[in-house]
Structure 1
């Protein structure tokens, strides 16, 4: 776990002890932003897509990608943006080292390469997930009739999916709710998340057979568990 740093609110002058939260890279390794000690935190007044993200390098696979910039909510109502070392310019990501062992495929892939769409908005995240399901062979992808408690639900014949376009990693409850919806419809299920998954959610997804995908800002969904590899291999 990263060491905590002291953060002083510029509005009410309260001091907070803050620890950066680690999020999983596509390779499975935890990546935590290196916080700058004794640097003033900036109050967040206006939000832009660029300011909400910082580019970091994974210490395990070397992949450089955009991650949510660390923020702290002060009791006075001010949101503080915590300074981070090494805001790197983004480069094309390296091929991630898988955190799982993909299952062997019994036949060569016949589908063309997936055509990516750069992600700039939450709507783009949903669009990419729908395009990926169609690429897998689910032609009748639509918005699900039942709305999930967070994110956006998608459905097609034989599969239900959930898309989390926020900067919050998906939790175990979201994974379990998706699995329950899939069970009631006798369908497979897939989860697409922009910010990855909490560790407990990944473990639970493996146990329930929920396919997990992480989306990068280039618009390339990456399978992060064996059920995701199985879905790719067995899709129509």
Structure 2
């Protein structure tokens, strides 16, 4: 299950909504290609261009290991003209605003991200066929095309509640940073241990090679001794004659 950092909210243009600003939260899970990530060490936002077994690529070739970033996951909250709205999948009412999420050239509303105010609902027919749709200024907009924009009203809080909330958020933010730092150090220690294990393996290989060389030298010495024994005996015999 993903762990969400609700205190770390980012507002980014959502390409799937025609560039409308949307709120994203940091989630502890592996990112997929096309998603945005927040890099913990540099506090930057990047788009994932390629996946990998133990990390992701950003900006084409820069590599970020898993654990050193958080995936940015879109919420249902968008920002339009300075107002926060919640995206809701239901039939709109007269006077409500909707945002187009499905569009093509055969429809009246052809642009994803277009904002439409509903002036009439329960359209009964279109082209002689029963077609469930509402009406905006330009004409019919089908229910499958849009999501309703419900205004998000800020909760009223007293000064004491606001101060307490800010203190809690600061505490959680600091805790998140400390956890991220500990996770980073843990990753560094794990890589160092892996490096030490590799060094030990290399040392064992080198020791094995040295042992083989020593055995070869001993064999050469024995062979040389065997070959020189007759010569030594001959020298001793010649000296004895003298």
**Could you state the TM-score of these two structures normalised by the residue count of structure 2?**
0.19
Larger proportion of strand: 2
Q: Which has the higher contact order (CA 8 A, sep 6+)?
A: 1
- TM-score, with structure 1 as normaliser: 0.19
Greater helix share, structure number? 2
